[in-house]
Every structure is written in C-alpha cells, then in structure tokens.
Chain A
C-alpha cells in the first residue's frame, strides 16, 4: 500500500476564461493531516473543488490510493470514501439536523440505522448537534452550522476528509472542540486535508503543510519545520506563527 493517499501532479483548472490553478503538485501522506495555507485567492478552495470533481481539471493527474480519479464525476469521487465540507458548509437549511446527518450516512435508509456509537461520539464532541437534532438546520447559528457540517462528515468512517476553513467565524471554545475532533479522527487513521486561515488552529493540528500562491504550491514540507522557521513564514505567508 502506498504511503500517500492523495496525489496531485501538475493540475491545472480553468473556470470559464480564467486560468486558476497553474500546475498544482501536492502529496498527502496516509493517516496525516495536511494543511493548505495561503493568502486569499491563492487557489486553495479551487484545489479542493478540483479534487472533488466539482470543477474539472483541464490538465494534470489526481490519484487516490494509486487510482486515477481525474476524470471521475463528483458522486463517484465521493463514493471513494471521501467526505467533503465546502467553504459555505453545504448545510440543507430546510432539513432538520437529523436529516442532514442521515443524508451523509450513505449506508443508512432511516435515522435508526445510523451507527449509534459513532453518533454518541459526535454528540460528545458537538453537543449542539444532539440538542437541535429535530430542528431545521436553517435555524442554527453560524457556529452550530459549522459544527453540523463537520459532524456530517464524521457520521460514517471515511478514508479522507476534505474540509474548507472549518474554524471560520467560530468562538474559541468551539474551535477547541473542533481541534479535539480532528485529533481523534487523525488518531483513528483518517487522512485529512484542511484549508485553514487560522494559523494557531493550523499549528496545533498540521503534520504536513502546503503553501499556495497564484495557483501553485510554492512550499511543501512538515508543519513543524515551518513553525520553527520565522523567515520562511514571513516570506510565504507574510506573518510569523
């Protein structure tokens, strides 16, 4: 079995007339948490959407566990045991919290068929999910919706979690719950790809890091190495961790 779960080789993405990704190279080691950092507009979200097939790569190759998934459509990619949380959270506002969770549990036809042990674990990490179980998701606060979005990605075991800015707009206490959730997921062997702007959040979680700029990965390495190199942080991110 390859040590890398997901690999991007020279991936280009065009959206209409715009050339957004200019040959992204990225390697995600299995069982680790990889952070995608970069300024606004660097191409992080486009990279995630291209991996998920929501925007088709115009050039290059994306492989998952050695299998080429570049030309697959989004449902086929998701069925490769991938959970994706988009930047807008993708919550179905008219559905209840329970129904949102049930949708993510592909193997369950009814709420009763969802894995109870896993649900209890999720409820412990994100109590709001249990508290508002039968309420419309549209009535949750922004932070609660974010928790639901991450909880939904955890409802069934997945090999790879792709999450776009999970800490955006969250209160510090909830961020701590989120960090705990990702640490527990990592400990269970799940590979995670995270786009994150909150550097302190990123620092506590990241094993490997890729920094993007102008649609390319301009730095890839261990998070620890980046955290210890102030000059590199300044040159890549314009700030010190």
Chain B
C-alpha cells in the first residue's frame, strides 16, 4: 500500500513489541491487560501535554522549560472549577459529571492559553535563537509561576477527586480496567485525531509542518512564521492546560510542583519522538506510559530511571528520535 511505502512503519511496532515483551514477564493476562490500559492512558495524557511543546521546539527552535507551568495551572484551575460544582461531580450520572468536567477543561485551557500568550511575549520572544538563555529564563518563568500558584491556591496539596461516575472499573474477563483510564485514552485519541486533521488537512497545518523543517523557506514564500509560532505556542499551552486537568484527575491530587515533575517525562517523550514530530511524540508518550507501568509492577526500584534507559536505548537506535524531522 502506498501509505505504508511513504511512512516508516518500524517505530509503530515499538509499542506492541514492548507490550508483548512485558507479557511473559508479568505472567498473568489480566494483570498485563490492566497495566497495559493504564500505561496507554498515562501515555495519552502525557501526549496531550507534550504535543504542543514538540511543535514549539520544532517550529522556532525554542527550548521551553516552562511548559510545566501551564500543566500545573490547568490542574489548579480545575480544582477551583470542579470544587465549585460539587453537586455535579458528586452525582452518579455521567452527563452530570461531564457538565462539571467539560467547563473545568475549557476554562483550564483558556487560562493556560492566556498565560502562554503572555509567556511567549515577555519571556520567550526576547531570547529567540539563544538556547542557554531560553533554558534559564523559561525555568525562571516556571519557578515564578509556581510561586504565584502558591499565592493563589496555597502551597499544600489539593485533592482533585474523580467525579462519582468516573470512579471504579469495568471488568474485561478477569482484568479490572478503570473507567477514567478509558476516558483518558478516548480524549487522547480525540486530541491526536484533531491534531492530525489540522496538520494534515489544513493550510495552517501545512505551514506548521513546513516551518518545522525550514522556517527560513516558509518566510521566503511570504508567510509570517512568528505569528504562526505564537498561535502554536498558545495552542500548545492550552493543550498543556488540558493535560494538567487530565493528569490531576489521574493522580487525584495536585501540587504546585507538578509541572516541574511532569516536565522530565515530557522532554523524554519529545526527544524519543524526534523534536518537532507529533506522531513521534505519540509513540514516545505511549512507550513512556507503558514502561512506567510495567516497571512499576515488575521492579519498582528501577521504575524511576526506566524511562531514561528507554530514551537512551532509542537514541542509540535513532539518534534523532523515532521520527526525525527532515532538514533539521
């Protein structure tokens, strides 16, 4: 098929290969299925958070270590919105829960997008093309953001319980699959599909893909790539905010430092995927999610560095990530 002739399919096999390799080690089919779904759900949430960052790097060569701020912000906004809608989250009906969760997601995305806009304008823009300064100033921006979160919401951990109908599990054979993880997979797939549609079917998407490869040529064709970059930065921040809500509900609590904690995972994902590659980020996120869950079960002591080992292994195979972007 022409589609498969044009796409390098080998990286696509990494996810099923990792899952199949884990099966004999885990032994029990039901445990394996539970862990696999948990890993895919975690991976999908990480993908939502990471997909904007990979495009930001790919498009303008900007190393944004402050991306975690938008994640934390999204999660904290969700605690306020959902906290104010206790009657709805406490209901056992799905639609009532969604009436609380959807506004929380939308408001979290809007707040993260607005802060992302200001972050790009005042923190990132003055240091275009200067990697060291980008790392320092964006990390500084995240620290300030964390402190501001403490000022608004306090320094302590805040609970973000799952709405009533999203708790519990469904049984598939002997395997218990948490309902929320299925929802996370569905939301992640929807975000991925939407991104693929924008990137693959619209002129804006075409410009983003071209800009990731050769921004100078895109400008020579008459397009203002800085405006495009601001749009991608803001959209990436909004997605990070959405990911923050999903991650907060996944952990069922939020702390001001959560952005910095998740940042490490996100950078592993975009490096594995190939900087600037959305499809690569999805594969990287799924691998990281699965690896974290399998090692957490099989060898908890190595779980902490298992994803670093995964990244090192993949970079030995493909030094530019699984889907390196051409011309970079």
Residues of A within 8 A of B (CB): 52, 54, 73-75, 78-79, 84, 86, 90, 92-95, 99, 102-104, 106, 108-110, 134-136, 138
Contacts of B225 in A (CB 8 A): 75
Closest to B323 in A: A94
Q: Within the complex, which residue of B213, B219, B325 is in contact with A75, where a contact is CB–CB below 8 Å?
A: B219
Please report which residues of chain B, range 186-226, place their CB below 8 angstroms from some CB of chain A when the two chains form the complex: 202-203, 206-207, 209-210, 213-214, 216-225
Other than the given A90-B214, A92-B210, A136-B6, 9 more pairs (CB < 8 A) read A73-B219, A74-B216, A75-B225, A86-B217, A92-B214, A92-B326, A92-B327, A93-B213, A99-B210
Given contacts A92-B209, A95-B210, contact A75 B217 (CB under 8 A): no
Residues of B within 8 A of A (CB): 2, 6, 202-203, 206-207, 209-210, 213-214, 216-225, 325-327
Interface of B, secondary structure class, is helix
Q: Within the complex, which residue of B203, B207, B219 is in contact with A78, where a contact is CB–CB below 8 Å?
A: B219
> Cβ of B206 and Cβ of A99 under 8 Å apart?
yes
Q: Within the complex, which residue of B202, B213, B216, B224 is in contact with A94, where a contact is CB–CB below 8 Å?
A: B213
Q: Within the complex, which residue of A78, A90, A109, A134 is in contact with B222, where a contact is CB–CB below 8 Å?
A: A78
28 chain-A/chain-B pairs, Cβ below 8 angstroms: A52-B220, A54-B219, A54-B220, A74-B219, A75-B222, A75-B224, A78-B221, A78-B222, A84-B220, A90-B216, A90-B217, A90-B220, A92-B209, A92-B213, A92-B326, A92-B327, A93-B326, A94-B325, A94-B326, A95-B206, A95-B213, A99-B209, A102-B203, A103-B218, A103-B221, A110-B203, A134-B2, A136-B6
Closest to B218 in A: A103
Contacts of B325 in A (CB 8 A): 94
5 closest A-B pairs by CB: A78-B222, A90-B217, A93-B326, A74-B219, A79-B222
- Report how far A135 CA is from B216 CA in the complex, Å: 23
Residue of A73, A74, A84 with most partner-chain B CB within 10 A? A74
- Report how far A93 CA is from B327 CA in the complex, Å: 7
- Report how far A78 CA is from B216 CA in the complex, Å: 12
> Cβ of B217 and Cβ of A92 under 8 Å apart?
yes
- Report how far A54 CA is from B218 CA in the complex, Å: 12
- Report how far A134 CA is from B6 CA in the complex, Å: 10
Q: Within the complex, which residue of A74, A94, A106 is in contact with B209, where a contact is CB–CB below 8 Å?
A: A94
Closest to B216 in A: A54
Contacts of B326 in A (CB 8 A): 92-94, 138
Nearest CB of chain B from residue A94's CB, rounded to whole Å: 5
Nearest CB of chain B from residue A72's CB, rounded to whole Å: 12
- Report how far A86 CA is from B209 CA in the complex, Å: 19
Closest to B277 in A: A94
Closest to B223 in A: A75
- Report how far A221 CA is from B127 CA in the complex, Å: 45
Given contacts A54-B216, A135-B6, contact A95 B209 (CB under 8 A): yes
Closest to B2 in A: A134
Closest to B324 in A: A94
Residue of A94, A104, A109, A135 with most partner-chain B CB within 10 A? A94
